[in-house]
Every structure is written in C-alpha cells, then in structure tokens.
Amino acid sequence: MADSPEISVVVVCWNMARELPRTLWSLSRAFQQGINDLRYEIIVVDNGSDTLPVAPEMEPAPQIRRVSRPSASPVGAMNEALALAKAPLIGAWIDGARLASANLLACVRAAAAHHPAPVIATMNRQFGPAHQSVSARDGYNQTVEDALLETAGWPNPEADLVAVSCPEMSGTSAAILETNALFMARHTWDALGGYDPAFTDAGGGMCNPDMLTRAVAHPGTQLIYMKGVSTFHQIHGGTSTSDADKTVAMVKQASRAYNALRGHPPRMVRKKGWVFDAATGTLAKG
C-alpha cells in the first residue's frame, strides 16, 4: 500500500507523564530533520500506568494502548508493541523516557539501506553532568533537568542535547551492552521472537542486552553502529538510573537472573560492526 509506513517506532512506558510527551515530541515531524518524505508510525504501549499517558499534538499522531497484562517487566508490553508494528523496519524504544537526536530517523533510514538485515544500534546518553545514579546524590533531579533542557534550547530541533548529557558507553563501536533504540527488519524481529518473556524482573533485568546479543549473533544480520545519533535519558526514578546503590543491587540481581537463563554472565557485544556517520552520511565497513 502506498501509505503504509516505512518505519515503525514502538515505545513502552510506565508512569511517565512528564517524560513521555518529550520523548514523543522528539520523534515528531516538528523535531526530526530530513524526513519530509518518510512514512512512519509511532506506537506506544503503556505497561499499567496509573493514568494512560497523553501524547502532544503532533504528526504522526502516536497510537497509545494499554498492555493486556501489566507486569513489572516491560517485556510483555514491548512484544505487544512489536506485534502491532506495520513497517518493514522497526525501532524498539524500551524506555519511554529517552529523547531522540533530531537526525535519528533520517540516519536510521540511510543506514538500513545498506543491508537487508541490519541491527542498528544507537548510542545511549543521560542528561546531566554524570550518570544519573551518581548525579542524583548531588542534587540532580527533574527540576534541575527541566532547567537544563531549557538552557540547551529544547524543544527546538537545534537544541544541543549532547552538551547537556553524558555518554553511557565509551564511544561508537566500543564494547556495548545495550541500546535503547534498536532498529531491525521485521523479519529479524520475527525470527528472534522479540524479547524473551523469561526476563520477569522489574525493569526487565537484562532483557535489553539479551536482545542485542541475540540479534548480533543471528545468522545473516549485520551490526551497524550509529555515530552522532543518540537517545537521551531523562531522570524519572527508573529502575537502574536514579540511585547508585539501587543500580548496583539491580545489576547484581539482573546478572544472576541472566546467568540462570543463559548459563553465563551477561557479556558486552564486542563485534566490530559497520559505522554510519551522521555528520557525513557515510558508512564505514571497516
């Protein structure tokens, strides 16, 4: 069909009345650059919030649904969202509190054109001077972050989000544990069966690193790192980003659960994939 989407972005959220509207706006045509001819859809599956979230007035208008069975883990909601997606290329946003770079969708489309089964990994960043589990101890909170984003120029697409954030990983194509915005072909998502429902811990434990690991190992896929394209985490009292002690405890529990499921501890993805440079629009196969 001529009006069918080329890209589906599926987002999971839970009690993110402050954060989700920003995330959705960052995916809107008003914020995303270089996508005038791109047909895409946004699907939000809410994982049992007290109140169903409300999207801002934007194009495309997000589809917002409640998960059929709310759970402490986002896996069920994530898989329901994936099942609703209509496009041949699907991006999974397992954390609804993360804003997108203004060039993210344009760059993902360009990178995906280079391979029939891409595994496109965007870089994770967190707003604030340091990882939020650390900066929260020094007073970083939602009020501080609101002022920080205003200083950066949000919600203008020219806002310098990189300047007011820090990376979660050391750099593009370095060892990577996970990516919030994981884009793959519909047939790859189907072949992998989506996220593993065995990950039942609050926040999903290591379900997201597991998804990336399985995707990279799947026959015929090609890992593509995105240089200059990120998602940016807003502080919201999340499972692994709001308190250093809670972060350590969560990682230990999630690692034990992963080891029980997979027979070994979680491992960083160290594969030397291709690199798509957002600044130049070129792909290095290396």
Extract long-range pairs of 71-74: CB within 8 Å, 24+ residues apart.
71/47, 71/200, 72/200, 72/201, 72/202, 72/203, 73/199, 73/200, 73/201, 73/202, 73/203, 73/204, 73/205, 73/207, 74/12, 74/14, 74/47, 74/203, 74/204, 74/207
pLDDT of residue 61: 98
For residue 269, tell me if it sits in a domain.
yes
How does the average pLDDT of the chain come out, rounded?
A: 94
pLDDT digits (tens, 9 = 90+) for 45-102: 999 999 999 999 999 999 999 999 999 999 999 999 999 999 999 999 999 999 999 9
pLDDT digits (tens, 9 = 90+) for 225-277: 999 999 999 999 755 455 667 778 888 999 999 999 999 999 999 988 999 99
CATH of the domain at 79: 3.90.550.10
How many domains in the chain? 1
Rounded to the nearest angstrom, the gap between the alpha carbon of residue 197 and the centroid of all alpha carbons in its chain is 18
For the question of whether the overall pTM of this predicted structure is more than 0.85, the answer is: yes
Domain housing 250: 7-284
Averaged pLDDT for residues 163-180:
85
For residue 1, tell me if it sits in a domain.
no
pLDDT of residue 243: 61
Averaged pLDDT for residues 157-173:
88
Strand partners for 41: 8
Q: Give me the helix-helix angle, 244-262 and 207-217, nearest 10°.
A: 50
Q: What is the dihedral of CA 192, 193, 197, 201, to 10 degrees?
A: 40
Which pLDDT band holds residue 1 (cuts at 50, 70, 90)?
A: very low
Give the percent of the chain with pLDDT over 90: 89
| Cβ neighbours, 10 Å, residue 179 | 27
pLDDT of 173 higher than 70: no
For residue 114, tell me if it sits in a domain.
yes
pLDDT of residue 169: 80
For residue 65, tell me if it sits in a domain.
yes
CB 197 within 8 A of CB 76: yes
pLDDT digits (tens, 9 = 90+) for 178-231: 999 999 999 999 999 999 999 999 999 999 999 999 999 999 999 999 999 999
Helix intervals (H) in the chain? 19-26, 75-84, 104-112, 132-135, 142-152, 186-192, 207-217, 244-262
For residue 2, tell me if it sits in a domain.
no
